[in-house]
Amino acid sequence: MMTLRRFVTASVLGLSLGTAPYLLSQNGVSIGGRVYDADSNAPLSGVRISSVWIPVGSAAPVAVLARSQDDGSFALTVAPGSRVVCVDAGKAYLDPCQWSPGTTTIDTARSSRLDLPLRRGVLLIVRLHDPTGAGQAALNATPALAKVPAPLVAVTAVDASGASRPIPFVASSGANSEFSLLVPPSTTFRLGVASSTLQLADVSGNPLAQNAFSTSLVVPTASEGPPPSPLGRPLGSHIPSRIFNFVVTGRVSP
């Protein structure tokens, strides 16, 4: 199933942009509001706001995009009806479409204003060190996987409701790989790390029981310290983080 973000990307890059101006010029309505930090009430400028929908009788999604102004204000012209507005404010802020569903829905028949208070998140980070290159060797062993950039490791976070979220692969730099997900602070998750292909160990080299790691954790509200970046990508001290490190010691024997 195509995600909302991929809908937006597809619309920006191709088919539906040519349709959107015609549809909106005929019966579009303007909605607006303010984007701001939920804790300080400070306006957030340059935030990308988007709304995506599929017009009646068309399989192509239509997307409208805007950026917030210096005072946090924004305006979008959308088709009438119930619309979901999503936010991309960069690494530090949570997208309420993902973490507070329903709070960014507006019915244009009832209101034209939607204010968007954004909460800062915490980066849940899993780092994988592979000193012998076992991960790439496992990928190379299967031609269909040879160009896959991510190691063959499943990294997930399960919240209190039981909803499981994959923690996305972010980048790799030789022997080091990183997975990360921005999550709400003061929230309990069960972190899972497992592989059916690679032998995993803790940072001391001790093999993981059943080749998997699972722990319940409460995401902090403050950083554990500026996270060192083996990938050469400083995260910035303004983003709190919780980091877990693992080592690949080889491939699982057939």
pLDDT tens string 15-68: 333 334 444 545 789 999 999 999 999 999 999 999 988 777 766 788 899 999
CB atoms inside a 10 Å sphere around CB 111? 10
- Here the CATH number for the domain that contains residue 154 is 2.60.40
- Domain match, 208 and 136 both: yes
**Containing domain of residue 50, as a range?**
4-118
- Domain match, 81 and 114 both: yes
- Domain match, 198 and 104 both: no
- Domain match, 92 and 24 both: yes
- Domain match, 106 and 156 both: no
What pLDDT is stored for residue 220 in this prediction?
A: 75
- Here the CATH number for the domain that contains residue 59 is 2.60.40.1120
- Domain match, 107 and 156 both: no
- Domain match, 157 and 66 both: no
Residue 242 to residue 216: CA distance in whole angstroms: 13
Calculate the CA 28 to chain-centre distance: 30
Last residue within a domain, chosen from 118, 134, 160: 118
**Number of independent structural domains in the chain:** 2
Last residue within a domain, chosen from 65, 93, 118: 118
Calculate the CA 64 to chain-centre distance: 20
Residue 163 to residue 117: CA distance in whole angstroms: 24
Write down the pTM of the prediction: 0.77
In a structure prediction context, what are the per-residue pLDDT tens digits for the chain, which is 254 residues long?
444 444 333 333 333 333 344 445 457 899 999 999 999 999 999 999 999 887 777 667 888 999 999 999 999 999 898 999 999 877 789 999 889 888 999 999 899 999 999 999 998 999 999 999 998 888 888 888 878 888 999 999 999 999 999 999 998 887 899 999 999 998 999 999 999 999 999 999 999 999 999 999 988 765 544 455 545 444 444 678 889 999 999 998 76
What pLDDT is stored for residue 226 in this prediction?
A: 45
Answer for the pair 120, 93: CB distance below 8 angstroms, yes or no: yes
- Domain match, 105 and 151 both: no
Last residue within a domain, chosen from 70, 86, 118: 118
Q: Residue 33's beta-bridge partner residues?
A: 74
- Domain match, 150 and 214 both: yes
Instruction: Give counts: helices (H), strands (E), the chain.
Output: 4, 16
Residue 197 to residue 75: CA distance in whole angstroms: 49
Residue 92 to residue 104: CA distance in whole angstroms: 19
What pLDDT is stored for residue 225 in this prediction?
A: 46
Residue 158 to residue 174: CA distance in whole angstroms: 29
